[in-house]
């Protein structure tokens, strides 16, 4: 959804400093512009186009309709206050507003699983839900699963078993695998394939992913 708006923004206008609160300092020279900076700046610029300015008071829940909402998302144990349009998906809020770009945007239609995160320890597809619907819930992204020094057992297993090539699906695969193991759906390779079916891998690393999940399940259940 915001993809189209974003690219129109890039093509037609530069965001002003006021609009793009996530870009600090003087504008970078064209040679310094990183892909993320461009996307973020354009996204922030587009977000105000055509939207009536009416912000909700903090009275929760939203018992009268609002067109902008002040919300607090609890992500990886930290609270983040932000103002969003209701149509912003949880995925876009994580990536574009909170800079948590480990969660990937693949199909944006709930088919590929690259956007998988945990909400209250259950795996969900963050592209199929609105940010405004997830106040007061514990959201865990790929950035939040490793201990301070080291890797989560599923991360280690994916490296050890070479369970990826391009890596685009990998954060979603890992989040899904963490939940799959917690749910206890790792009794056999077939069971893992079935219960990991919501995560597609265009490099087709499925065989290695299954082995990595088996490895990690053994370690985590030990």
Facing residues of 82 across strands?
Answer: 71
CB atoms within 10 A of CB 81: 9
With binding defined as CB under 8 A, does residue 179 bind other proteins?
yes
SS3 assignment, position 76: coil
Contact letters for other proteins, residues 154-173 (x by CB under 8 A): --------------------
Sort strands 122-125 and 116-119 into parallel, antiparallel or unpaired. antiparallel
Per the CB < 8 A criterion, the answer to whether 210 and 193 are in contact is: yes
Contact letters for other proteins, residues 89-108 (x by CB under 8 A): x------------------x
The DSSP code for 197 is: T
Nearer to other proteins, 14 or 83 (CB): 83
Stretch that binds other proteins, among 16-24, 65-73, 74-82, 152-160 (CB under 8 A): 65-73
Residue with tokens 């206050």: 81
Contact residues for other proteins, defined by CB under 8 A: 1, 50-51, 61-67, 69, 85-87, 89, 108-110, 113, 116, 122-125, 127-130, 132-133, 176, 179-180, 183, 185, 193-198
């Amino acid at each position: 959804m915001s993809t189209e708006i974003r690219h129109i923004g890039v093509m037609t206008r530069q965001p002003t400093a006021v609009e793009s609160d996530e870009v600090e300092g003087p504008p970078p020279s064209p040679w310094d512009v990183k892909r993320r900076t461009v996307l973020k700046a354009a996204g922030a610029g587009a977000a105000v186009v055509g939207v009536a300015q009416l912000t909700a008071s903090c009275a929760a829940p939203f018992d009268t309709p609002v067109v902008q909402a002040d919300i607090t998302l609890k992500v990886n144990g930290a609270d983040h206050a932000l103002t969003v349009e209701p149509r912003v998906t949880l995925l876009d809020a994580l990536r574009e507003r909170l800079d948590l770009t480990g969660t990937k945007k693949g199909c944006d239609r709930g088919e590929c699983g690259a956007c998988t995160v945990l909400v209250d320890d259950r795996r969900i597809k963050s592209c199929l839900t609105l940010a405004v619907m997830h106040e007061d819930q514990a959201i865990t992204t790929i950035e939040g699963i490793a201990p301070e020094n080291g890797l989560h057992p599923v991360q280690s297993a994916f490296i050890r078993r070479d369970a990826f090539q391009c890596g685009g699906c990998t954060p979603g695969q890992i989040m899904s695998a963490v939940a799959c193991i917690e749910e206890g759906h790792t009794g056999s390779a077939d069971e893992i394939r079935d219960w990991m079916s919501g995560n597609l891998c265009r490099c087709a690393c499925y065989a290695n992913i299954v082995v990595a999940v088996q490895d990690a399940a053994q370690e985590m259940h030990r």
